[in-house]
C-alpha cells in the first residue's frame, strides 16, 4: 500500500530573495534554494521565491526575509553589478536590518569593497562586506578542489563544513567583518591566511559550492531560524529533521580529506 505523509502546518511564511538566477548560479548553487524551500516545507513553513532581476523594485526587495546569491564568472559579475548598484540602498537596508543572507563565491565579491577580475577594470562593489578580492590574472592557478573548514558562527563553532571551491579571486577581510570558518583542507578566501568566507551581521559569504546547503544543513537551519526570528520578533526553535544522508555525505568527505568530524 502506498504510504501517505502529512506535513505539519504553521502560519509562518518567508519570502526568499534569489539574486539573478540566470546570471548567478555556478556549480549547482541553485540547489541552495531547493534546500531552503524543502527544509521550510517539511516544517510547515510556507515560502515564496522572489527571483531578483533588473526589473525588481525596492518595494519588492523590502519584502525579503532571507536573501541568497550564487556564484558567477567575471563576465556575468560585470553585468550584474550595474543592476545591483540601482538596488544598493534597499540591499544595504536588508543586511543592516539583520535579514539573513547567504552569498556564494562571485556574489560576496560584489558585496565587498571591490573585485579585480582576471582581465579588465576593477569592479567597485557595494561595500557591505569589509573585504577586497583580487584575481591575480589568467596565468595564475585557480583555487579549486574539495574543502573542509570549521564554522566560526557563534553557537556553531567547531562544526565541520565541507564543499567544493573553484575561484580565481583571492579575498582579504577587513577589520569590521569576521571569517565564516577556518580552513582545515583546501584554500578558502585566499589560500594563505586560513580564513574561509565572511560574516557581517546575519549576512554570510562563502567560497563553498557543492552546493553548500545540502552538505551542510546546519547553515540552512541557521538562516531559516534567523529569518523567522527577525520577521516574527521572537525566539524560534526549529523542529529537527532527519539528516542521516547529509551526515553520511559529510562523513565520507571528511574521511577522504583526512579531517575529523
Task: HSE, CB side, 13 Å, CA atoms: give it for residue 196.
Answer: 30
For ligand GLN, give the closer residue by CB, 137 or 174: 137
Query: At its nearest, how many Å lie between ligand GLN and the CB of residue 114?
Result: 13
Q: Is 167 known to be catalytic?
A: no
Q: Quote the least distance from Cβ 96 to ligand GLN, whole Å.
A: 25
* 3-state secondary structure (DSSP) of residue 167: strand
86-100 as b/e, with b when 16 or more CB fall inside 10 Å?
ebeebbeebbeeebb
Task: Using CB under 6 A, list all residues that contact ligand GLN.
Answer: 26, 71-74, 77, 105-106, 135, 166-169
Closest approach of Cβ 80 to ligand GLN, in Å? 11
Active-site choice (101, 105, 135, 167): 105
| CA dist 148 → 72, 86, 200 (Å) | 22, 36, 21
Distance separating alpha carbons of residues 83 and 56, to the nearest angstrom? 10
Cell matching residue 117:
577580475
For residue 52, the surrounding DSSP H or E stretch is strand 46-52
Which residue, 163 or 217, has its beta carbon nearer to ligand GLN? 163
Q: Shortest Cβ contact with ligand GLN: which residue?
A: 71
Which cell goes with 22?
540566470
Q: Which of 40, 101, 167, 209 is catalytic?
A: 209
Q: Residue 109 or residue 202: which is nearer to ligand GLN going by CB?
A: 109
Smallest separation, CB 177 to ligand GLN (Å): 18
Check if 105 is active-site.
yes
Q: Which residues are catalytic?
A: 105, 209
Amino acid at each position: 500500500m502506498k504510504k501517505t505523509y502529512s506535513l505539519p502546518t504553521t502560519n509562518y511564511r518567508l519570502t526568499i530573495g534569489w539574486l539573478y538566477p540566470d546570471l548567478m548560479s555556478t556549480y549547482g548553487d541553485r540547489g541552495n534554494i531547493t534546500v531552503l524551500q524543502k527544509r521550510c516545507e517539511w516544517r510547515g513553513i510556507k515560502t515564496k521565491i522572489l527571483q531578483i532581476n533588473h526589473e525588481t523594485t525596492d518595494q519588492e526587495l523590502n519584502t525579503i526575509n532571507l536573501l541568497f546569491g550564487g556564484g558567477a564568472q567575471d563576465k556575468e559579475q560585470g553585468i550584474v553589478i550595474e543592476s545591483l548598484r540601482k538596488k544598493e540602498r534597499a540591499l544595504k537596508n536588508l543586511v543592516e536590518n539583520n535579514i539573513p543572507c547567504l552569498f556564494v563565491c562571485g556574489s560576496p565579491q560584489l558585496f565587498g569593497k571591490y573585485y579585480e577580475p582576471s582581465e579588465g577594470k576593477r569592479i567597485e562593489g557595494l561595500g557591505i562586506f569589509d573585504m577586497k578580492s583580487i584575481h591575480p590574472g589568467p596565468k595564475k592557478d585557480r583555487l579549486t578542489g574539495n574543502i573542509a573548514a570549521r564554522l566560526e558562527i557563534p553557537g556553531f563553532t567547531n562544526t565541520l563544513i565541507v564543499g567544493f571551491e573553484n575561484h580565481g579571486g583571492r579575498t582579504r577581510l577587513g577589520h569590521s567583518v569576521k571569517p565564516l570558518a577556518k580552513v582545515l583542507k583546501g584554500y578558502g578566501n585566499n589560500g594563505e591566511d586560513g580564513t574561509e568566507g565572511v560574516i557581517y551581521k546575519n549576512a554570510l559569504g562563502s567560497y563553498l559550492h557543492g552546493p553548500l546547503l545540502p552538505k551542510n544543513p546546519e547553515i540552512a537551519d541557521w538562516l531559516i531560524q534567523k529569518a523567522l526570528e527577525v520577521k516574527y520578533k521572537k525566539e524560534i526553535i526549529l523542529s529537527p529533521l532527519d539528516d542521516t544522508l547529509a551526515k553520511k555525505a559529510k562523513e565520507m568527505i571528511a574521511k577522504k580529506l583526512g579531517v575529523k568530524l
